[in-house]
Structure 1
Amino acid sequence: MSAVLEEIYQKKGNSSKSVAREHVTLRPANEFHTNDHSNNYIHTGSLPQTHVRNIENTVDGYPKLQRLFSLKERQVMQFNTKPFGCKVELDEIVPTLNDWVQKDGLTFDVVMIGCLTDNQFIYPLLTQLPIHKLISKPGFLFVWGSAQKINELSRLLNNEIWAKKFRRSEELVFVPVNKNSPFYPGLEADDESLFEKMQWHCWMCITGTVRRATDGHLIHCNIDTDLAIESKNSKVGAIPNQLYKVAENFSTATRRLHIVPARTGSETPIRMRPGWVIMGPDVLLDNFNAMEYKNEVGRVGSNLPKDPSIESLRPKSPISIKN
Structure 2
Amino acid sequence: MQEHILVAGATGLVGFAAMKHFAGRGYKVTALSRRKPFETFGATHLPLDLTDRAACADALSRMSDVTRVVYAALYEKPGLVAGWREADQIETNKRMLENLFDPLEKAATRLRHVSLLQGTKAYGAHVRPLSVPARENRDEMKEQPNFYWDQENYLRARQQGRSWHWTIFRPQIIFGFSLGAAMNLIPAIGVYGALLKEEGRPLAYPGGASSVLEAVDADLLADAIAWAGVRDRQENAIFNVTNGDVFVWKNVWPAIADALGMKPGEAAPMSLGSEMPKRSRAWDAIRAKYNLAAPDMASFVGESFHYADFTMAYGAERDVPAAIVSTIALRRAGFHEVIDTEDMFRKYFRLFQEKRLLPPR
User: TM exceeds 0.5?
Assistant: no
TM-score, normalisation: structure 1: 0.26
Higher RCO by CA contacts (8 Å cutoff, separation 6 or greater) = 1
Q: Which of 1 and 2 has greater Rg?
A: 1
